[in-house]
Amino acid sequence: MKKAFSLMELMFVLAVIGIVGRLLVVNLQHHKESVMAQNIVDCVVIYETAIKMYYNTNNGTLPVSPATIPANYFPQDFFWRNFVKTDACSSITYSNSLENGCSITIILSADTLRPKIVEILSKRCVPQQIKEDDCQIIYYLKTATENYL
């Protein structure tokens, strides 16, 4: 009658647990990156909505800077002056110039999320609205020739 597990049986069980654990960690890391990318895009969408509200309320005039957009155009818990400060995204800025038009720029700390963010943004706009650079994504709301508002 056998009273204990052999060393081989214990090693086999530990190896199986290690393999399953490693697969779980890899899957969770991928999910974490997707959630981070979606959070950044959600902030851009909130910002875009506030700019559109300002544009429609002020007879087609774009805000000069984020400070000119009334706070009630944003959700109550949305701290709109310092959008996203994470490991992946250092800032989201708004620009309104005569040469380039109106745009939202996402400045990334790391380039790993750029493809995912561009993929999510591409589903909600025309391709001409997105311009990729090294560690930044420029999302045009209005260019010198086209108005996406």
Provide the phi-psi class of 88: left if phi over 0, else alpha when psi is between -120 and 50, else beta. Answer: alpha
> Which candidate, 19, 92, 17, places its Cα nearest to that of 51?
92
1 in a structural domain: no
Measured CA distances, 148 to 55, 65, 127, 129 (Å): 12, 19, 11, 8
14 in a structural domain: yes
pLDDT in tens, 65-111: 777 888 788 777 665 444 545 566 777 778 887 666 788 888 887 67
93 in a structural domain: yes
Three-state SS at 53: helix
147 in a structural domain: no
Say which range, 7-11, 56-60, 108-112, has the weakest mean pLDDT.
108-112
138 in a structural domain: yes
- Classify each residue of 96-115 as buried b or exposed e, where b means 16 or more C-beta atoms within 10 Å of its C-beta: beeeebbbbbbebeeeebbe
110 in a structural domain: yes
pLDDT at 70: 82
Q: Which domain holds residue 16?
A: 7-142
36 in a structural domain: yes
Residue 56 scores a pLDDT above 80: yes
pLDDT in tens, 92-103: 778 887 666 788
Is the pTM here over 0.85, yes or no? no
Max alpha carbon distance in the chain (Å)? 89
Number of domains making up the chain: 1
50 in a structural domain: yes
